[in-house]
Amino acid sequence: MKRIKILMINYTRIVSLGLSFLFFLKSEAQVSPDWKYKKELFSYLNSLSDSVYISDRVDQELLPSASCTDTEVRYYTVTKSGEQIQLAIKSKTFLASQHDMQLTDTIFSVVNHKRIRDSIVVRNKIDSTFAYGVQGTVPATEISSFIILRNNIKLQIPKQTYSDLYNIHFCIFHKAPEVYITKDNKYLYLYLHGSDGANQYSVKFIFDKTGYVTRIVNKHPCLADFDFIDGFGSCE
């Protein structure tokens, strides 16, 4: 009886390892093994399992943008399968007085018994969290509201999943938000771009039918676009 139990445990472990290996292969298959930036993209993932969400967005259903301004983007559309999608993201002027700011640190040295400023170290932290879209400077805008409904059901989106994204671009032609729904209607993909003019980033949000699943934030210095998140592109 003991031997049978041990065999069953070993079998369970083998199956588990096999499934993990197949999952890894599936994840790896999303990106060409020859793509030179693959390692960098994977370093931006919250976990290796998130690599299953790396895929060319042109294979999904693109939802048309309903309207946008400098401070807001809205979607109100019905997918090919008949699902109603509503989305509204708004930004507001960033007020430094309402936040804990640690954008830079000053490094001092002592020369001839005098304390002299030696250098400035960029921290880019706001409210103790790394801030995207700034480089040692106070951001101009922050996201004030982030609402998505699928068939009139509001998705659960924790504030901490977007509160570190600053200077979002809503209505710039080549950097405007893009929204897709997967072919199986399971996931909603939202792409956003932001920058302070020099320090760019892009982010892909993944939502299922109940809410936020994960995100991929890309801060590559020369590939801060949606193609990089999808696993292709080049700096050349």
Enclosing H/E stretch for 190: strand 188-195
Tell me the chain's radius of gyration from C-alpha atoms.
22
Comparing CA positions, the residue from 189, 136, 190 lying closest to residue 168 is 190
Q: What is the pLDDT of residue 175?
A: 82
Residue 205 in contact with residue 192, Cβ under 8 Å? Answer: yes
Comparing CA positions, the residue from 43, 151, 131, 142 lying closest to residue 87 is 151
Return the structure tokens found at 187.
């996931």
Give the 3-state DSSP-derived string for 108-153, with helices as H, strands as E and coil as C.
Answer: EEEECCEEEEEEEEEEEEECCEECECCCCCCCCEEEEEEEEEECCE
Q: What is the pLDDT of residue 23?
A: 41
Task: Domain ranges for the chain, please list them.
Answer: 1-30, 32-96+140-229
pLDDT per position in the chain (236 positions), as tens?
545 544 444 544 544 444 444 444 444 447 888 888 999 999 999 999 999 999 999 999 999 877 889 999 999 999 999 999 999 999 999 999 999 999 887 666 777 767 776 667 778 899 999 999 998 899 999 999 999 999 999 999 999 999 999 999 998 867 889 999 999 999 999 999 999 877 889 999 999 999 999 999 998 877 778 999 999 888 76
Q: What is the pLDDT of residue 20?
A: 40
Residue type (1 letter), 70: D
Strands 153-154 and 212-218 come out as unpaired
* DSSP-assigned beta bridge partners for residue 104: 122
Q: Give pTM, 2 decimals.
A: 0.82
Distance, CA of 80 to CA of 61 (rounded, Å): 8
* DSSP-assigned beta bridge partners for residue 192: 203
Q: What is the pLDDT of residue 11?
A: 47
